[in-house]
Amino acid sequence: MEDNNLLTQVKARAQEWLDGDYDEQTKEEVRKMMKEDPESLIDAFYKNLEFGTGGLRGIMGAGTNRMNIYTVGMATQGLANYMKKQFAGRDQIKVVVSHDCRNNSRLFAETTAGIFTGNGFEVYLFEDLRPTPELSFAIRHLHCQSGVMITASHNPKEYNGYKAYWEDGAQVIPPHDKNIIKEVSKIKDINEVRFNGPKEKITLIGEEVDEAYLAKVTSLSLSPKAVKKHHDLKIVYTPIHGTGVKLVPAALERYGFTNIIHVPEQDVNDGNFPTVVSPNPEEHAALEMALNKADETNAELVMASDPDGDRLGIAVRDSNGKMMLLNGNQTATLLTYYLLTRWHELGKITGKEYIIKTIVTTDLLGDIAKHFGVNHYEVLTGFKWIADMIRRKEGKEVFIGGGEESYGFMVGDFVRDKDAVSTAVMVAETAAWGKDQGKTLLDMLKEIYIQFGFYKEDLLNIVKKGKSGAEEIQAMMDRFRHNYPETINGANVMLIHDYLKQQTIDLISDLRYHITLPQSNVLQFITHDGSKVSMRPSGTEPKIKFYFSVKGKLEKPEDFDRVNNELAEKIEGIKKDLKLI
């Protein structure tokens, strides 16, 4: 009966689109779903797209739960209405809009720009695709009150998305995100959306902002002598068909690196991502062509950015000369260690500096920060929370860098989102600095593990699509929340962090402690042997994520493979004990 009621409600919502002022192509798509595919119809209309950790994101197509010019239009009109209230005292509200390489991205960007001008805003629109971090930079550079990036990040090709930014260059957080949704929900008819505003209010931007952004990126350099000495370091770089194609090589060259090796087939901007199954640098398959190119050219380093140029995956040579992919935690570890070491050597650490990591990112970053006398702060998952902390600390402490396990890192505060461009040049500089001491990046990582302990992390994604999938994911969270394990893989659970209840339970003392971070549907279990299991529903994809962290002792570099395998087995034991595999 419930399914029948839902289908009835969905058909009523779909009929509104058939009766409304929508284009004929959209209506035909709706008619086809109504006649032939009730399951797709339900998924397309059972809810509205909502802002999550990454803004608005969904599969492209007709429907309230799909990315199309109408959902983009209503989101933009809602954002515009909210901005009019927030910036009522300003003579002119300014917005910057950018987009990635995905199908329909330019259409959605131009649609967004047209609606903003229809609301009387002054709009800067990038002349062509640009990376997300440059959009973040441009907001403050151009003194705008907001910005929109059309992208679905590293999602598969059928997706697109809409990231909304505030005047500090960061993605919107509460209360702004919820209030924007409230404004969107007030719009009952697409005729309320002010499509097709005056084009003369749109200013195309490009090279001038590129130059300003690249100048900031190159100012980050801490070891120019090492770069000059090892300028011919062989680096394979691929944008995986995305926005990094122009700015990453340009930034590396300005830093002084002269041996950048391309993967020509993947330099082509294409929203269908023809050379990969998924344009996600977290996945080995996405880097396969770059890895092959590295073997052909005997390159020392491989780097790959995702379609919107904010995440970076890297691969390095192992002790046998084979390319080895590093995960996001390992990259963040190397960068944090390098940054703090060089800041220390250059006499720049005064006690007021800090780094930031998310609650699911390796605790090794905190250990490194403590060693160098640098503060470290933990925030919820998502770079918008890192940016929020930077905003809170502005003028009081100095931000050095910060990152998260999902291949995102940021150096300096001129961008307020993860940045594959600045990360790429800093990874290359770290490699040159290490090479100057006769060390590879893997050698450096092993030394870090010997000094601070061998932290190993893993991630398990369980995909559950559609309405039923969302319900299954919530049921899994409820099960662990209400029936939490007392032991995990033979180790007693000592602490439970429930970020939804904003409460820590100490199972040893049976005391409760308040968590000061904002509410979030995240659970963490900490065991007496230092293992940590975290779980949360993804804010941007139909999946639940399980994060695993274990710690061992590495006494000498030669033991790396053995200890690594032992820790991997321990993680597999945890997964089996929790009945996740």
**pLDDT tier for residue 182 given thresholds of 50, 70 and 90:** confident
pLDDT of 300 reads 97
Question: Nearest CA to 456 among 348, 304, 328?
Answer: 328
Any idea where the domains of the chain sit in the sequence?
Answer: 1-46, 51-205, 213-452, 454-577
**With pLDDT > 70 as the criterion, what percentage of the chain qualifies?**
99
Write the secondary structure of 60-126 as one string of H (helix), E (strand) and C (coil).
ECCCCCCECHHHHHHHHHHHHHHHHHHCCCCCCCEEEEEECCCCCHHHHHHHHHHHHHHCCCEEEEE
pLDDT of 97 reads 98
* Average pLDDT over every residue of 126-139: 98
What is the widest separation between alpha-carbon atoms in the chain?
72
Q: Pull the structure tokens for residue 124.
A: 């800067």
Helix H or strand E segment including 41: helix 38-45
- Per residue in 512-525, pLDDT (tens digit) is 999 999 999 999 99
**With pLDDT > 90 as the criterion, what percentage of the chain qualifies?**
90
- Per residue in 74-110, pLDDT (tens digit) is 999 999 999 999 999 899 999 999 999 999 999 999 9
- Per residue in 231-273, pLDDT (tens digit) is 999 999 999 999 999 999 999 999 999 999 999 999 999 999 9
Question: Nearest CA to 551 among 461, 452, 459, 485?
Answer: 452
Among 47-51, 436-440, 548-552, whose mean pLDDT is lowest? 47-51
**pLDDT tier for residue 548 given thresholds of 50, 70 and 90:** very high
Judge whether 51-205 and 213-452 match in fold. yes
**pLDDT tier for residue 4 given thresholds of 50, 70 and 90:** confident
Cβ atoms of 74 and 193 closer than 8 Å: yes
Fold of 51-205: Alpha-D-Glucose-1,6-Bisphosphate; Chain A, domain 3 (3.40.120)
On average, the pLDDT of the chain sits at: 95
Q: How far apart are the first and last CA of the chain?
A: 34
Question: Nearest CA to 405 among 576, 258, 282?
Answer: 282
* CATH class label, 454-577: alpha beta
CB burial readout 55-90, b (16+ within 10 A) else e: bbbbbbbbbbbbbbbbbbbbbbbbbbbbbeebbeee
Q: State how far the alpha carbon of 129 is from the alpha carbons of 76, 114, 187, 271, in Å.
A: 19, 17, 30, 12
Annotated catalytic residue within 153, 223, 406, 531: 153
- Per residue in 423-436, pLDDT (tens digit) is 999 999 999 999 99
Residue 174 has pLDDT above 90, yes or no: no
**Phi, psi dihedrals of residue 504, rounded to the nearest 5°:** -105, 130
Residue 319 designated active-site: no
Helix H or strand E segment including 492: strand 491-498
pLDDT of 51 reads 66
Report the interhelical angle of 466-482 vs 38-45 (nearest 10°): 60
Helix H or strand E segment including 409: strand 408-411
pLDDT of 1 reads 37
For 389, residues 6+ apart whose C-beta sits below 8 A from its C-beta are 356, 377, 379
Other C-beta atoms closer than 10 Å to the C-beta of 227 total: 22
pLDDT of 497 reads 98
- Per residue in 458-471, pLDDT (tens digit) is 999 999 988 789 89
Q: In angstroms, rounded to a whole number, what is the distance separating the alpha carbons of residues 31 and 34?
A: 5
DSSP codes joined into one string, 447-462: HHHHHH-EEEEEEEEE
Q: State how far the alpha carbon of 353 is from the alpha carbons of 128, 300, 373, 508, in Å.
A: 37, 32, 8, 35
Q: Is 315 helix (H, G, I), strand (E, B) or coil?
A: strand
Residue 2 has pLDDT above 60, yes or no: no
* Average pLDDT over every residue of 403-416: 97
Question: Nearest CA to 526 among 577, 492, 568?
Answer: 492
**pLDDT tier for residue 397 given thresholds of 50, 70 and 90:** very high
Q: Pull the structure tokens for residue 347.
A: 């006499």
For 51, residues 6+ apart whose C-beta sits below 8 A from its C-beta are 164, 172, 177, 178, 180, 181
Which spans in 159-317 are helix H? 176-186, 207-218, 224-229, 244-255, 288-297
* Average pLDDT over every residue of 562-572: 98
* Average pLDDT over every residue of 574-581: 96
Cβ atoms of 498 and 505 closer than 8 Å: yes
CATH of 213-452, one of 3.40.120.10, 3.40.430.10, 3.30.70.3420, 2.60.40.10: 3.40.120.10
Hunting for tokens 């062989």 — which residue is that?
A: 234
Cβ atoms of 503 and 515 closer than 8 Å: yes
Residue 28 has pLDDT above 80, yes or no: yes
Q: In angstroms, rounded to a whole number, what is the distance separating the alpha carbons of residues 280 and 312?
A: 9
Cβ atoms of 412 and 216 closer than 8 Å: yes
Question: Nearest CA to 356 among 426, 418, 313?
Answer: 418
Whether pTM exceeds 0.85: yes
